[in-house]
Amino acid sequence: MKRKELQEYTAKPMAELEKELADFHEKMNGLRLDVATGKVKSLKEFKHIKKSIAQIETIVVARKKAEEK
């Protein structure tokens, strides 16, 4: 994820972030199935999705902590 995309995610509302997160989880499950069946040769997209999920989850957790204070 590029810096510009990361800044866009930090500007989005919480509901939109959760929707994006759900979409990435669906893509991840589909890719896992494709890897298991041998349809995917390159795992670059798999790595990109995992990184995106981690970054979005980090933003969500930081916002929840900020709301608690």
The whole-number pLDDT of residue 2 equals 76
Q: Which pLDDT score, from 0 to 100, does residue 1 have?
A: 58
d(CA 20, CA 7): 14
Reported as a single tens digit per residue, the pLDDT across 12-59 is 999 999 999 999 999 999 999 998 898 887 889 989 999 999 999 999
> What is residue 49's predicted lDDT score, i.e. its pLDDT?
92
C-alpha of 13 from chain center:
15
Model confidence at 7, in pLDDT bands (50, 70, 90)?
confident
What pLDDT, on the 0 to 100 scale, is given for residue 9? 87
